[in-house]
């Protein structure tokens, strides 16, 4: 890559990201680094003559989904373009333009670290020493070992690790693991240990389930055209929903119509702001519930709450609606006014000390939120990815509830924005005969001490306790075996012991940190090398599906997942049940025929293949979460036990009474503020005085695309630190610093910037773990610093709750 090109790509990148995807959407800028013929670099013949244009897709887990148009000559992808159908209005048929990552897809397909052949481990686990074997040897080893493990320990000893690398596919779908071809295979072979929850939303899914019943719905971001105010708590679509079909585009298009004010509450000044916000209110990580409590205090004292809404639709706001059996003064109003158990009034003074937000601003913010209606109040998933995240997510939803913004146009539930999805048919994966499940975050414990894990202490479901430890792991399209899971040094220690987990099978396209820990490494085809349908995007009032056709032949000896799992099924004696006599295209045609029954507007298979993308407007217009409940709560109750919004949850009171929790963990029937563990006031802060939060970074989708050099150069991995924290440490912008705590150390350069609150530092998650010979990571990979301690209710990952120290190297 020449210096000149690098300069251009960086500039172009800044344009597109500063505008949060808008430039891409509005101007259709094609990134220059998508144009250089790369084939020369990989030793394949190049021709400037364009033979074919093939529709493909980017199927990674970024919350968006984009079509790619591959220009293929001489069997090699020459360059990549994106959607050229539809228009620029966010009317449900608009262009779904890919971000800079998808446009660099070619650099992932032709990356030098592509896995080429099946390999088996020869060195110690994690050392990364492998020997090439044939596919026949690989299948033999897998089937022999899997049979042994099933007969020795039973199917509950087999675990499908979380993996989202290609969750947007149909045949290649990697998430949830229970909906993958691996699950279908294992379900034909006696089943596997299930998991519940995910690294994205464990705490909010568990928390808001008790408020609204099930997964909390949100209004479509297109509905912001009806809002007067937008309040975003830790929600950064400018980086996390970057597609032209994604939320960042909706947010800006809708605000142009409504001219809604936008307030961003985040410890970082995010790209979603980037000059388009009306105000940024920096907040200490993990303290949103304290802010909300004080906002409630002001609203209650100034008579600004929507009392009629609270009376009719909610349980537990005040004495009147407190469920029978709850203690006196166990209601929300008592908690806020200091008449509850703790006797503390949640005044702006009280909250200012906790959150770092000035008293005066808390008071005016309360008035502004209560008096500007309708208000779209939403939270991203950053605030809940904390040790107290279940309480935080419920607390933020309280703002929408107190102000009666739930179930109306221009309002929202306080959850993340919602979206329309087509009822497209997915691959059937059959029934798992094993009913036991663990939280997705506790699998390392299940390897180390499985039989001591119980329902009441560890959140085991389906059984009182686990009977066997995990002995075999399938790791398909995931990097959570190492890179994306907390406390890497601990994981390394557990995985190195081959007597604990006895077999690790990794199916990936690249030599990732997780791949290095495989016993058996199977090279997968990328999306460009096979036929599939791609869907599942957060896209407001548009539903769409992409025909992701095969652009090039499988590289090296790579095989598709369906080929691999079909062959394993045959060798396990369940081939017919697994394939039902279909090959990959046969399945796709079958699923498509069924989808056409559910979505009559879908064209025939071959027309779809030509047109590449099928879009459909949400027939509802703008989706409004809980609209039916709002118009008639008796006829359309929620799925909570009371059928209403549960501010006080009797179910949670019961769980709190029965579960065994370590010190510092709190489960509470009310959405109270509790600091959790590893917070700003923790005694541990004497040694590690800085709060470290992670964030999802535009340079990558988690770790995926993390091996693309032009992306790394365009958005460098850096730790954000405020000048007030940098100066006394002698740290200047660009200096290499060490970041450490009791769990590990990483080194990376510092970005000294007022875009982060003093006392807080931030690191984009997903950098490729790269330890030196002393075990110090040199890539800025945040999970050497994060903790394996699960959150109280969800038993989820508190990835953003970390205390660290930083020094100049
Ligand atoms: N500290 C910290 N840790 C976090 C987070 C955080 O915020 N902070 N976020 C968490 C969240 S929300 C999530 S969702 C997880 C995500 O964690 P993962 O699901 O592990 O996501 P990726 O890191 O993108 O890893 C995807 C893997 O799939 C592979 N892959 C991509 N395409 C293909 C394909 O076509 N076939 C195959 N076989 N493999 C493919 C990639 O090479 C990569 O190894 O990370 C979690 N980890
Ligand atoms: N480019 C890109 N896009 C992605 C991904 C990616 O890796 N890269 N990952 C995708 C996936 S799987 C997921 S789950 C989503 C993740 O989406 P989110 O979970 O919403 O993303 P985060 O960046 O972790 O957090 C959002 C914001 O919350 C802030 N934050 C952290 N702690 C707190 C807090 O205590 N209070 C407040 N108010 N704010 C806080 C962070 O600074 C950040 O700006 O993104 C998806 N989109
Ligand atoms: S990373 Fe996400 S936004 Fe970017 S091209 Fe891929 S699907 Fe689209
Ligand atoms: Mo996620």
Residues 235-268 pLDDT 10s: 999 999 999 999 999 999 999 999 999 999 999 9
User: What's the rounded mean pLDDT across residues 2-18?
Assistant: 28
pLDDT of residue 15: 28
pLDDT of residue 50: 55
Q: Which residue, judged by its Cα, is nearest atom 5 of ligand 3?
A: 102
Token readout for 782 is 């945040």
Taking the CA of 697 as reference, the closest ligand is 2
Token readout for 270 is 């995010």
Tens of pLDDT, residue by residue over 719-764, are 999 999 999 999 999 999 999 999 999 999 999 999 999 999 999 9
- For the chain, how many residues are written? 809
Instruction: Using the atom order of ligand 3, give the atom closest to the CA of residue 537.
Output: 7
Any atom of ligand 2 within 6 Å of the Cβ of 233: yes
Q: Which residue, judged by its Cα, is nearest atom 29 of ligand 2?
A: 234
Token readout for 701 is 């989708």
Instruction: Using the atom order of ligand 3, give the atom closest to the CA of residue 243.
Output: 3
61 C-alpha to ligand 4 centroid (Å): 7
E-strand ranges in 89-243 read: 119-121, 130-132, 158-160, 194-196, 229-233
User: Average pLDDT of the chain?
Assistant: 93
Instruction: Using the atom order of ligand 2, give the atom closest to the CA of residue 201.
Output: 14
Q: Ligand 3 pocket: which residues have CB below 6 Å?
A: 58, 60, 62, 64-66, 98-99, 101-102, 242-243, 701
Residue 494 has pLDDT above 90, yes or no: yes
Taking the CA of 484 as reference, the closest ligand is 1
Instruction: Using the atom order of ligand 2, give the atom closest to the CA of residue 695.
Output: 23
Any atom of ligand 1 within 6 Å of the Cβ of 512: yes
Any atom of ligand 1 within 6 Å of the Cβ of 164: yes
For residue 301, give every residue at least 6 positions away whose Cβ sits within 8 Å of its Cβ, in sequence order, or none: none
Percent of the chain at pLDDT above 90? Answer: 92
Any atom of ligand 1 within 6 Å of the Cβ of 181: no
User: What's the rounded mean pLDDT across residues 579-584?
Assistant: 98
Other CB atoms within a 10 A radius of the CB of residue 574 amount to 17
Any atom of ligand 1 within 6 Å of the Cβ of 530: no
Residue from 380, 385, 417 whose mutation best tests the ligand 2 pocket (most atoms within 8 A of CB): 380
pLDDT band at 51 (very low <50, low <70, confident <90, very high): confident
DSSP three-state, residue 784: helix
pLDDT of residue 319: 97
Residue 8 has pLDDT above 60, yes or no: no
Token readout for 490 is 């601990």
Residue 43 has pLDDT above 80, yes or no: no
pLDDT of residue 23: 32
Residue 49 has pLDDT above 70, yes or no: no
Tens of pLDDT, residue by residue over 789-805, are 999 999 999 999 999 99
Residue 41 has pLDDT above 60, yes or no: no
Any atom of ligand 1 within 6 Å of the Cβ of 203: no
pTM of the model as a whole:
0.94
260 C-alpha to ligand 1 centroid (Å): 35
Choose among 800, 740, 723: nearest CA to 764.
800
199 C-alpha to ligand 4 centroid (Å): 6
pLDDT of residue 207: 98
Token readout for 308 is 């009629």
Any atom of ligand 2 within 6 Å of the Cβ of 698: yes
User: What's the rounded mean pLDDT across residues 161-172?
Assistant: 98
DSSP secondary structure string, 46-73?
--SS--EEEEEEE-SSSS--EEEEEEEE
Any atom of ligand 1 within 6 Å of the Cβ of 56: no
pLDDT of residue 388: 98
Instruction: Using the atom order of ligand 3, give the atom closest to the CA of residue 62.
Output: 2
Residue from 34, 248, 271, 701 whose mutation best tests the ligand 3 pocket (most atoms within 8 A of CB): 701
Instruction: Using the atom order of ligand 1, give the atom closest to the CA of residue 782.
Output: 1
pLDDT of residue 372: 98
Q: Which residue, judged by its Cα, is nearest atom 26 of ligand 1?
A: 165
Q: How far apart are CA 286 and CA 234, in angstroms?
A: 11
Any atom of ligand 1 within 6 Å of the Cβ of 706: no
Chain centroid to Cα 454, Å, comes to 27
pLDDT of residue 18: 29
Determine which of 13-27, 203-217, 430-444, 522-536 has the lowest per-residue pLDDT on average: 13-27
pLDDT of residue 715: 96
Degrees, nearest 5: CA angle 190-194-199:
150
DSSP three-state, residue 80: strand
Residue from 103, 234, 245, 355 whose mutation best tests the ligand 2 pocket (most atoms within 8 A of CB): 234
pLDDT band at 24 (very low <50, low <70, confident <90, very high): very low
Taking the CA of 57 as reference, the closest ligand is 3
Q: Which residue, judged by its Cα, is nearest atom 25 of ligand 2?
A: 382
Choose among 587, 594, 513, 437: nearest CA to 783.
513
Taking the CA of 691 as reference, the closest ligand is 2
Tens of pLDDT, residue by residue over 88-116, are 888 889 999 999 999 999 999 999 999 99
Residue 37 has pLDDT above 90, yes or no: no
Choose among 687, 273, 670: nearest CA to 678.
687
Tens of pLDDT, residue by residue over 271-317, are 999 999 999 999 999 999 999 999 999 999 999 999 999 999 999 99
Residue 713 has pLDDT above 80, yes or no: yes
Decide if 763 contacts 694 (C-beta within 8 A): yes
Helical H segments across 359-518, by residue range: 359-371, 389-402, 443-449, 455-458, 488-496
Around ion ligand 4, residues with a beta carbon closer than 5 Å are 200
Residue from 538, 702, 797 whose mutation best tests the ligand 1 pocket (most atoms within 8 A of CB): 702
Domains in the chain (CATH in brackets) are 119-199+428-527+555-597 (3.40.50.740), 203-420+628-642 (3.40.228.10), 683-808 (2.40.40.20)
Taking the CA of 704 as reference, the closest ligand is 1
Helical H segments across 475-616, by residue range: 488-496, 561-571, 575-579, 584-598, 605-611
For residue 447, give every residue at least 6 positions away whose Cβ sits within 8 Å of its Cβ, in sequence order, or none: 469, 470, 494, 495, 500, 501
Determine which of 50-54, 102-106, 174-178, 335-339 has the lowest per-residue pLDDT on average: 50-54
For residue 532, give every residue at least 6 positions away whose Cβ sits within 8 Å of its Cβ, in sequence order, or none: 57, 59, 169, 170, 171, 172, 548, 588
Q: How far apart are CA 431 and CA 414, in angstroms?
A: 35
Taking the CA of 525 as reference, the closest ligand is 1
74 C-alpha to ligand 2 centroid (Å): 41
């Amino acid at each position: 890559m020449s210096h000149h090109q690098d300069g251009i790509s960086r500039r172009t990148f800044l344009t597109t990201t500063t505008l949060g995807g808008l430039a891409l959407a509005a101007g259709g800028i094609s990134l220059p680094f998508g144009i250089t013929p790369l084939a020369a670099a990989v030793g394949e013949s190049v021709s400037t003559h364009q033979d074919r244009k093939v529709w493909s897709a980017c199927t990674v887990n970024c919350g968006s989904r984009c079509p790619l148009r591959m220009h293929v000559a001489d069997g090699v992808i020459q360059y990549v373009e994106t959607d050229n159908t539809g228009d620029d209005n966010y009317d449900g048929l608009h262009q779904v333009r890919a971000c800079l990552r998808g446009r660099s897809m070619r650099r992932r397909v032709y990356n030098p670290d592509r896995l080429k052949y099946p390999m088996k481990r020869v060195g110690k686990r994690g050392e990364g020493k492998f020997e090439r074997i044939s596919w026949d040897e690989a299948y033999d080893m897998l089937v022999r070992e899997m049979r042994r493990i099933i007969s020795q320990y039973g199917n509950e000893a087999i675990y499908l690790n979380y993996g989202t690398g290609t969750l947007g596919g149909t045949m290649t779908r990697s998430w949830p693991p229970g909906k993958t071809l691996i699950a279908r295979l294992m379900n034909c072979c006696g089943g596997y240990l299930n998991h519940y929850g995910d690294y994205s939303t464990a705490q909010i899914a568990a928390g808001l389930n008790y408020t609204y019943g099930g997964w909390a719905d949100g209004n479509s971001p297109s509905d912001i055209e009806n809002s007067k105010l937008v309040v975003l708590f830790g929600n950064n679509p400018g980086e996390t929903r970057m597609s032209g079909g994604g939320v960042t585009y909706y947010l800006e298009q809708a605000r142009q119509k409504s001219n809604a004010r936008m307030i961003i509450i985040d410890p970082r000044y995010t790209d979603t702001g980037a000059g388009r916000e009306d105000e940024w209110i920096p907040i200490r990580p993990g303290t949103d519930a304290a802010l909300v409590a004080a906002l409630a205090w002001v609203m209650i004292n100034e008579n600004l709450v929507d009392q009629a809404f609270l009376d009719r639709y909610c349980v537990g706001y005040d004495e009147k609606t407190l469920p029978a059996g709850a203690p006196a003064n166990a209601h929300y109003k008592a908690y806020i006014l200091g008449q509850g158990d703790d006797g503390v009034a949640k005044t702006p003074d009280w909250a200012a000390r906790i959150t770092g937000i000035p008293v005066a601003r808390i008071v005016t913010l309360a008035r502004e939120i209560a008096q500007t209606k309708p208000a779209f109040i939403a939270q991203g998933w950053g605030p809940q990815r904390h040790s107290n995240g279940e309480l935080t997510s419920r607390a933020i939803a309280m703002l929408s509830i107190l102000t009666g913004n739930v179930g109306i146009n221009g309002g929202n539930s306080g959850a993340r924005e919602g979206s329309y999805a087509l009822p497209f048919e997915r691959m059937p994966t059959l029934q798992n005969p094993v009913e036991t499940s663990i939280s997705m975050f506790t699998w390392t414990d299940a390897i180390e001490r499985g039989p001591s894990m119980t329902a009441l202490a560890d959140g085991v479901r389906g059984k009182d306790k686990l009977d066997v430890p995990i002995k075999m792991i399938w790791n398909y399209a995931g990097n959570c075996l190492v890179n994306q899971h907390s406390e890497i040094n601990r994981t390394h220690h557990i995985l190195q012991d081959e007597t604990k987990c006895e077999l690790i099978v990794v199916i990936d396209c690249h030599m990732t940190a997780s791949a290095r820990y495989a016993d058996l490494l199977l090279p997968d085809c990328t999306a460009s090398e096979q036929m599939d349908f791609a869907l599942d995007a957060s896209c407001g009032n548009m539903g769409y599906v992409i025909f992701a056709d095969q652009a090039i032949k499988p590289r090296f000896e790579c095989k598709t997942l369906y080929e691999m799992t079909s062959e394993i099924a045959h060798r396990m004696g369940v081939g017919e049940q697994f394939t039902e006599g279909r090959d990959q295209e046969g399945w796709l045609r079958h699923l498509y025929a069924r989808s056409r029954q559910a979505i009559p507007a879908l064209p025939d298979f071959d027309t779809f293949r030509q047109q590449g993308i099928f879009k459909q407007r949400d027939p509802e217009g703008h989706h409004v979460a809980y609209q039916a409940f709002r118009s008639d709560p008796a006829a359309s109750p929620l799925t909570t036990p009371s059928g209403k919004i549960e501010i006080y949850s009797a179910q949670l009171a019961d769980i709190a009474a029965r579960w065994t929790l370590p010190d510092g963990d709190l489960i509470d029937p009310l959405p109270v503020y509790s600091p959790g563990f590893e917070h700003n006031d923790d005694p541990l802060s004497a040694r590690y005085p800085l709060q470290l939060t992670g964030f999802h970074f535009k340079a990558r989708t988690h770790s995926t695309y993390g091996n693309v050099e032009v992306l790394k150069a365009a958005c460098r991995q850096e730790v954000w630190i405020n000048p007030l924290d940098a100066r006394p440490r002698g740290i200047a912008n660009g200096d290499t610093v060490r970041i450490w705590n009791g769990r590990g150390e990483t080194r990376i350069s510092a970005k000294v910037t007022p875009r982060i609150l003093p006392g807080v530092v931030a690191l984009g998650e997903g950098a490729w773990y790269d330890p030196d010979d002393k075990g110090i990571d040199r890539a800025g990979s945040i999970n050497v610093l994060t903790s394996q301690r699960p959150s109280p209710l969800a038993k989820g990952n508190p990835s953003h709750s970390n205390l660290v120290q930083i020094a100049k190297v």
